[in-house]
Every structure is written in structure tokens, then in C-alpha cells.
Chains A and B, each alone.
Chain A
């Protein structure tokens, strides 16, 4: 078993696209069910982080912008670490991620363990 990081990106909030209270709650439930399912297989290596909205991006030459790196339309929203035998298996796990149902994306990356 190796560790793979799943990196979640959501579409930048479009005010026209605001989700209702109920929709938000359904997403949270789906998310917990998905995480619980990974944990039930004993394949959750780390619950990782859900990222907050206090953001600053620093660039060369003392350029600081409050907010995420501007060129990225999809905003980084969090990450978890799973245990899998192969990239293919990690991808299978990622397929169930509820963010895919709201136009978000999941990047699956192997991890290099630093000596």
C-alpha cells in the first residue's frame, strides 16, 4: 500500500449559482458518506484539511494578492490522503468524490516520502 493525495478543486463561487441550505446539507452528507466509506475500508491515511477562506498569494517582487492564485479558475478546497496499491485503485476511490457532481475536480497524486 502506498499513500496517494487527493486534491480537491471547486469552481469559484458564482453568486448566480448559490446553493440552497438543503443542497449544502446534502453535499455535506454525501461527503461524509464518501469519507466514511474510504475509512470503512481502512484506506484513509489522513483526513487531511479542508481549506478556509483566509487567503493571500505571494509572488516575486513583493506582489501580494488577497485571494487565491488568480489564473486558476478552480479553487483549491482541500485534500485528504488515502492508502492504495496503485494509482488505478486510488482513482477508483476518487471517482466517488461528491465534488465531481458539482463541477469540481479531484487530482490524484502519488507521494514522495522524504528521507
Chain B
């Protein structure tokens, strides 16, 4: 018998090919686009309805409108009360998951294949015939107001909100989907019904169904449920975030949200960066993996494994229809806050100047994205969400088959160019949620200028 050779790590064997499963499309008479993918491993179907309007479609004076509209869909529709909807979902063991992001609202359903018709019929009822009753709205609004109250004590939520505000201000990306207290209090059921009428239209939406049935069966089920969905008469769609003007960089580069005796400091460092359709998408992904996108990235190895400042630090380019932020997130020891910020800023500078990405780092950084690629498509839900990206960002059909080859075509120089172009140390802003008294003296040495103090509320 062969024995383990402990003198070296085993080399990898021949790579097994992976092909993204076929997506088939059809368009209903109403304009609703249907995408189907067969995935026969488990007797389940995951269906997603993508409506390309999210928090960025909120009117300027009504942040939170898109999110509460989506939240109200399952609070009574057609002949069903709110409880009837959930009783019906429960009786087929289906999971409903509504997600409102900046660019889109996604309503997700995972159900046993044998209950697909029932599940889709329920989602169609919610989308096409929501009741938007005053009584239910009052309750849902109260719950959202209570949630906002609780978020005031959650450092990550505070940091996210302040970061978005400072970066984007009046830009449609300047608020979180949940909105603000003032806006929620001023909101009316009529506004919700109006927003729904404007944004939920079959002509702009895509239904993706992936699971244990044939393309035909999936598409037929989708058509049975959604075939009667008519475009609204007054269909003035909300503006596409792609058309928004970019915000000017903020003048203050440091903001502190004071929490007395905070056990840690919650950090955000970043600036407005890239839209999803940037030609530098692949290079930016690799750049991020080298800099801060995974455990072995420079910033995590420095802040966690060398210095022990944090449980973990990660960076990301948040790609959206309009340029989203590049952001570092970490929760760090209060005493080490200034040191952690200094190290993170130094890493962001170094990768575009004196320590450019090496060949080894390039290989390591993109391995997770190329060698690990098949992992992203294991379940029906994974595949459905991947297909939804194509629809949301107008990506070409060959996107998945060209992904790995495009990644492999990148060299170190391309990554360094991306770093030079898309990480700009002079524009980075730093948000800290932590104890001002413990932080202030050491922060002064960072020379980020005066800190603007942001009140909680």
C-alpha cells in the first residue's frame, strides 16, 4: 500500500471540467421573462422573481418605501388574509424569502417540486394582487420602527448607515433599504400602492425557476401562475441607477459614532468605486482577493494573524448598477483602533505603489474564484441567484462560460492597474463606531483631519 508522503504537500490532480447548466428563456405575452434551469439532484424547486427596483428607487423624501412595499406583499393578497398566506405556505413546507437591495427586489421561494404550482400561485397572488390594508400596514410599519430603534445599538448596522450617508449623501445609494424613522412615520398606504403599481411590472421583471423538473414543466408552471399579470397602465418606471450622477467625495475623511465604553470599534474604510458592468470587473475581483477578500488576504493576515487586533477583516467591491463602494469591514480591539486603521490604509496604499501584487498572490487570489468556481452552483438556489445576476446587470449569456478563461487571462500588471485605477487613498473615508475617549488621542496621529462626530439616531 502507498504511504503518505509527508515531505511535501500532494500536488493537485487534473482539473475536472465544470459546465454551467443550460439556461432556457422564453417571454410571456405580458412581457415577463422566464428563465429555467434543470437541476435534478433533490426534489425541490427554487424560484426567484426579480423586480429591478430596490432602495435606490425610493423617492428622495421616502427612504424605505421599496423595502416596506416588498414587506407588505405577503400581508394579505387576493382572497387571502396575511395569516391565510402564511398558513398556505406552511402547509406545503415552502420557504419565502424577500430581499430588497439597492438595485432590485427579489422574491424567493424554495418548495418541494410536488408543491410548485401551489407555491408559485401564492407568490403570483402576492405580486399581482396585494391588498395593502391600513391595519396591516400600521403593524408592519411599527415593526420596522422598532427594528430601527434596535439597530441603534448594533455597531455594524450603525457603521453601515453612517458610511453610506457620508459616501453618497443625497444620491439614491445614500441610505439603507430600511429607511429612516421620519420617512416611515410619514408614509401612507397610498404611497405603497403607488410604488407597487409603478415598479412591479411584468415588462421589466424576470422569473427564474431552477429545480427538479424539465424546462417545459418549469416554464409551464411559471406561465400558469404569472400568465395573467398585466403591465400597469401608468407605468412610469423609476429611474435606472445607472443614470445617476456620481456623488462628490466627502470633505471629512474621518467620522466617529461615539459609544461610551464600547467593547470594540466597528470600522468601515472605503470610497465609491465600481459599477457591476465595469470592464475591470474580473481584475477588481482578483485585486480584492489579494487585498482583503478572503482569509489569506493581506489585510486579514496582517490585522488578525500577525497583530491579533481583530477576529477578522474583509474588503469588498460592492458592485451595483451604478458605482458601489469599495469597503473594508472589521471589528477591532478598542485600544488597537488607530493601529488597525493605519495598517489597513497602509495596505491599501502599498498594493498600488511599493508592494504590487506578485505572481504568487495573483495565483492564490484568483484560485478561490477559478478553482473554487463550481462550488457556487451546487444548489438550485445558488443557480437561480447566479442567473438572476445576468438579468439584473444585463450580462451576456456566455458570462458563466467565459468567467474562468477571463480570470486566467489576467496578469499581475492588470491587477496593479486595477489597484491604481480603483483604489484611491486620497478619497478613502474612515468610519469608526466606538468609544471616542479611548480613540481620540491615537487617531490624531493618523492625520486624517478632524473627525466629524455623527450622532446616533
Chain A complexes with chain B: no
Residues of B within 8 A of A (CB): none
Which residues of A come within 8 Å of B, CB atoms? none
